[in-house]
Every structure is written in structure tokens, then in C-alpha cells.
């Protein structure tokens, strides 16, 4: 299914000439049985892509499909079968053609229905027709970042949301970060189950805690380094007159504090391992592990006002969030040597004219492709000549 979808892209119109890779982006996107699309063949030919249409028309579904060209579960964090078209066969395919510095790369990801009862179904990844073991391999070719309305409550919501937000930032710079986080959580669940036993095996507990310490310190160190890099970048441009206020960032967490203090990683691992060993009785009583990177929090302040983001107005929080995502996109571009693809869902809805103009100028300066959605085409009029606008309606998309 996935190979056939890629061949359909090859059979379509030719790619527009690439500007020597100066603005990498998708030149073709194909969907089969994905969300509300039985079939879609989209051919962007501009720096940016704008999808306009009524609420519920399927604009965000397209952004979600693009987000699956990166590790993880996409911008909605949906289950694989939850993205299949209602009434379809149960599977789906997303295929794309990416313009890069060295030519074009064909990418594909799919969820296929197993042939036999009880057969394991998993997500498949293809790069230029070759199967790869992990979605992490996609980061070698593109980085996809996003901002959605669901993230508007980031600063007032639970710490877990901010950890996930920060981990997406880290993952864009360190492809192995997601694997470490998943493995740490799996190992921690094993420790929690072992602590439930009346007489847990001390040797086995020590082995599990040693693995947790190694993974946990690596996770914390990557977060600390990402926040430090972002802080330096933000500090260098905080007086540029942008209508998006700069954010002051800090990490809250005991393991993060250990990692930030410096010193050999092995020493930090030993300290965390001792914390885990000393806390067995306490953790057994609580029914969970009380120390580790799974308890960290990202603290964000409204820089110009010096107040916590959670105490800022709704509009200030939105502006802070946009500024933070833009700063991260710039950091990715500088670190990886290529601009990311940005997905901005309903981005212009609550921005005044000045902030919309500034946002579009920042997107141009980043040098990457941006996909945006909205219900009002007039909100994107300042992108004339720089964006291709498509109308989304009735399970289809056409140029507007």
C-alpha cells in the first residue's frame, strides 16, 4: 500500500525547480484513507501553504498527516487505528516528496491491516522506497514542528504537558531522546510493579535502578542542554522589537538540577541510583516512583514583565508560546543546518494585524516551509505571493 502511494506521487506533475535547497519543503503530499480523506494528492508550489475552510472541514487532518513524517504519534497523539478513515479498510497511508539540498527524497508512512487474526499491526516507514526500522530515521531528512490550539493551555495545565512539549523540542535536536524517554518509563513501571511484591528481589531492583539512573540522567542532561541553548538564543534577540515577548526558561527537578551542576555523568548516575535505592520503602507506599525526570517541570516567565506565564493574560500566553516555538525553530535551523517544516494550526485567529505581519516576516526569515490553517482567508492577505492558498471542503482540497 505504501509503495503504491509513493508511485502515484511519481506519476503526477513534475516538481517545480528547487532553489538549490534554500527553502526545503514538501512538493507533494498524498493521503489514502486518512481521517476524512479517501484519497488526496496535494502539490504545493510556494514557500508556504495555507489551508482555509470551515471548522471540521479537515484542515487539521492534513497538518496531522504531515506531522507523521516525524517520530512520535503526531500532533494529536492519536492511536494508529484512530487515524483511519471511517468506513475505510482500517489502514491508512501518508506519502510525501521532500525537496532537499541534494534533490528530492520520497517519504512514506502507513498503518496496514494485518492479514491474519491476532497479527501485530504497526506503523511502517519508507525512505526512497526502503523500509527503515524507526521513525527516528526521518529526522535525517526533515524536522517537523507544530503549534496547535490544544497547546494554548500549556502554561496553566499539568507539568506533564510541559514535559512533553519540552521533549518534542529536545527530540528535534536529538533523535534518540524519544527512545530514552520511552525506555525509562517502561523500566520505571517494572520497578513499580516489583516494589508491590511483599519481598522484592533486591538484586533485580538494583539492576533496574541502575538502568533507570543511566537513562534518567541522559534525559535530564538533554533537557538541560536544550533549555540552555534556547536561553542563549532568546537572549541574543530579546531586544529586536518583536511583538512576541521573550520567555525566560528554567527547569525544575532534582535530577535536572544534578545534571545542570555539571561533573561526570557517572557521578550523577550514582547519586540518582542511591536516591532510588533509599526511596524504595517510600515509593512502595506511594505506589509510584517519586524521584526522576518524569517529575520535572518547565518553568516559563513572561520576560519583559518578569511574571510567570501562567499568571499572564490569555493573549500574552499565546504570544509567548508563538515566540518560544519560533525561537526553537531558529535553534533547529542553526543546529541541524536546515530549517524545519512548521505546522501552525489556526495561527492567525487571535492575532492582531501587527502580530500577523511580524509572524509572517519571521516565518520567511527562518527559511523553511510553513503549513497554516484558518477559517478566514483575509487573515493571510499579507502572505500574497509567498503562500499558496487551498480551500478545504467536502473531503477535498482545491486551489483558491
Q: pLDDT tens track of the chain, all 400 residues?
A: 566 665 566 555 545 444 444 467 999 999 999 999 999 999 998 789 999 999 999 999 999 999 999 999 999 999 999 999 999 999 999 999 999 777 899 999 999 876 545 455 688 999 999 999 889 999 999 999 999 999 999 999 999 999 999 999 999 999 999 999 999 999 999 999 999 999 999 999 999 999 999 999 999 999 999 999 999 999 998 776 789 999 999 999 999 999 999 999 999 999 999 999 999 999 999 999 999 999 999 999 999 999 999 999 999 999 999 999 999 999 999 999 999 999 999 998 889 999 999 999 999 999 999 999 999 999 999 998 889 999 999 889 999 8
**Residue 308 main-chain phi, psi, to 5 deg:** -60, 145
Instruction: Please say whether the structural domain 159-302 has been given the CATH code 2.102.10.10.
Output: no
pTM of the model as a whole? 0.92
Q: Give the burial class of 227: count Cβ atoms within 10 A of its Cβ; 0-12 exposed, 13-18 middle, 19 or more buried.
A: buried
> What pLDDT does residue 20 have?
43
Residue 46 cell numbers, joined: 510556494
> What pLDDT does residue 120 have?
53
In DSSP terms, 322 is beta-bridged to none
What are the extents of the domains in the chain? 2-143+338-399, 159-302
Cα distance between residue 168 and residue 211, in whole Å: 23
Fold equal for 2-143+338-399 and 159-302:
no
Name the H helices within 175-313: 177-195, 202-237, 254-260, 265-278, 280-286
- At residue 298, the 3 state secondary structure works out as strand
Cα distance between residue 25 and residue 371, in whole Å: 10
Residue 150 cell numbers, joined: 490544544
User: Considering Cα of 166, then 172, then 173, then 176, what sign does the dihedral take?
Assistant: positive
> What pLDDT does residue 264 have?
95
Cα distance between residue 66 and residue 172, in whole Å: 15
Question: Shortest CA distance to 297 belongs to which of 245, 233, 220, 211?
Answer: 220
> What pLDDT does residue 112 have?
86
Q: Give the burial class of 79: count Cβ atoms within 10 A of its Cβ; 0-12 exposed, 13-18 middle, 19 or more buried.
A: exposed
Cα distance between residue 136 and residue 144, in whole Å: 12
> What pLDDT does residue 355 have?
93
- At residue 215, the 3 state secondary structure works out as helix
Q: Give the burial class of 101: count Cβ atoms within 10 A of its Cβ; 0-12 exposed, 13-18 middle, 19 or more buried.
A: exposed
For domain 2-143+338-399, which architecture applies?
Answer: 3-Layer(aba) Sandwich (3.40)
User: Considering Cα of 43, then 392, then 95, then 167, what sign does the dihedral take?
Assistant: positive
Question: Shortest CA distance to 52 belongs to which of 389, 394, 395?
Answer: 389
DSSP characters over 74-102: TTTT--TGGGBPTTS-S-EEEEEEEEETT
Question: Shortest CA distance to 373 belongs to which of 152, 58, 99, 42?
Answer: 58
Amino acid at each position: 500500500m505504501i509503495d503504491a502511494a509513493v508511485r502515484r506521487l511519481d506519476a503526477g506533475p513534475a516538481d517545480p525547480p528547487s532553489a538549490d535547497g534554500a527553502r526545503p519543503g514538501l512538493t507533494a503530499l498524498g493521503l489514502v484513507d486518512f481521517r476524512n480523506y479517501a484519497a488526496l494528492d496535494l502539490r504545493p508550489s510556494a514557500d508556504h501553504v495555507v489551508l482555509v475552510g470551515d471548522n471540521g472541514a479537515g484542515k487539521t487532518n492534513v497538518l496531522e498527516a504531515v506531522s507523521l513524517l516525524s517520530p512520535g504519534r503526531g500532533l494529536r497523539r492519536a492511536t494508529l487505528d484512530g487515524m483511519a478513515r471511517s468506513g475505510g479498510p482500517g489502514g491508512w497511508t501518508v506519502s510525501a516528496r521532500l525537496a532537499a539540498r541534494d534533490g528530492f527524497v520520497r517519504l512514506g508512512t502507513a498503518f496496514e491491516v494485518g492479514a491474519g487474526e491476532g497479527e501485530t499491526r504497526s506503523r511502517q516507514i519508507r525512505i526512497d522506497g526502503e523500509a527503515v526500522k524507526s521513525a527516528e530515521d526521518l529526522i535525517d531528512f526533515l524536522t517537523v514542528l507544530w503549534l496547535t490550539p490544544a497547546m494554548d493551555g500549556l502554561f496553566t495545565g499539568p507539568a506533564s504537558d510541559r514535559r512533553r512539549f519540552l521533549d518534542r523540542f529536545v527530540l528535534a535536536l536529538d533523535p534518540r531522546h524519544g527512545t530514552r524517554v520511552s525506555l525509562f518509563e517502561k523500566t520505571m513501571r517494572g520497578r513499580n510493579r516489583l516494589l508491590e511484591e511483599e519481598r522484592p528481589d533486591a538484586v533485580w531492583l538494583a539492576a533496574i535502578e541502575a538502568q533507570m539512573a543511566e537513562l534518567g540522567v541522559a534525559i535530564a542532561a538533554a533537557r538541560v542542554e536544550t533549555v540552555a541553548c534556547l536561553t542563549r538564543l532568546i537572549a541574543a534577540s530579546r531586544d529586536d522589537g518583536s511583538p512576541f515577548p521573550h520567555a525566560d526558561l528554567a527547569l525544575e527537578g532534582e535530577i535536572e538540577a544534578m545534571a545542570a551542576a555539571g561533573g561526570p555523568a557517572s557521578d550523577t548516575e550514582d547519586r540518582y541510583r542511591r536516591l532510588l535505592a533509599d526511596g524504595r520503602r517510600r515509593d512502595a507506599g506511594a505506589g509510584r516512583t517519586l524521584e526522576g525526570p518524569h517529575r520535572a517541570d518547565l518553568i516559563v516567565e513572561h520576560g519583559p514583565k518578569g511574571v510567570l506565564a501562567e499568571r499572564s493574560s490569555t493573549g500574552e500566553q499565546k504570544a509567548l508560546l508563538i515566540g518560544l516555538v519560533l525561537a526553537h525553530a531558529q535553534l533547529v535551523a542553526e543546529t541541524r543546518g536546515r530549517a524545519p517544516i512548521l505546522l501552525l494550526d489556526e495561527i492567525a485567529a487571535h492575532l492582531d494585524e501587527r502580530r500577523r505581519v511580524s509572524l509572517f516576516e519571521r516565518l520567511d526569515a527562518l527559511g523553511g516551509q510553513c503549513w497554516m490553517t484558518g477559517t478566514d482567508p483575509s487573515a493571510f492577505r499579507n502572505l500574497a505571493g509567498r503562500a499558496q492558498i487551498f480551500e478545504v471542503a467536502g473531503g477535498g482540497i482545491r486551489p483558491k
